[in-house]
Amino acid sequence: MINLVFLPPNNRGFSEHTLYSDICKPLDHVPLVIEVGIMKTNIDLSIRSIRKDSEKEKNFITSLTNSFSYINSLAINTKEDLESLVQQVATVFKNAWNNHSKLKHIMKYSKEW
């Protein structure tokens, strides 16, 4: 059996590797250690979320339920009627999500203490 490892050429992030042939006994495989470089750049990301089983989640669901009761889905006779209904549903979800979710900023050190 031959095991192959492919590393990108000239890639500083994956170029450092070591074969440990002296510790392979009694196995026929040689342990391989590859250092994976992680860039030091900070990647910021913002997301919205609602904690599961929270009061905010209950309010979100209530808001959806109440808003859907005002949408008339009985008169869908044309493509335009369907598109309008879909847009109304999308707006209900968007408004409820924005009203009840919390904006979080994900950063290198984003753990809440």
- Reported as a single tens digit per residue, the pLDDT across 16-30 is 777 777 776 666 777
CB contact at 8 A, 100 and 66: no
Report the mean per-residue pLDDT for the chain: 81
For residues 57 and 80, membership in a common domain is answered with yes
Q: Are strands 102-106 and 45-49 parallel, antiparallel or unpaired?
A: antiparallel
Note whether 16 and 52 are same-domain residues.
no
More reliable by pLDDT, 41 or 49: 49
What is the Rg, in whole angstroms, of the alpha carbon atoms belonging to the chain? 27
Task: Mark whether 59 and 100 lie in a shared domain.
Answer: yes
Is residue 112 in some structural domain? no
Q: Does 113 fall in a domain?
A: no
- For 66-106, the pLDDT digits (tens) are 999 999 888 899 999 999 999 999 999 999 999 999 998 87
User: According to the model, what pLDDT value does residue 108 have?
Assistant: 67
Q: Which domain holds residue 68?
A: 45-106
Domain count, the chain: 2
Q: Kindly report whether the global pTM for this prediction surpasses the value 0.75.
A: no
Closest CA to 40 of 111, 113, 108, 112: 108
Q: How many residues does the structure list for the chain?
A: 113
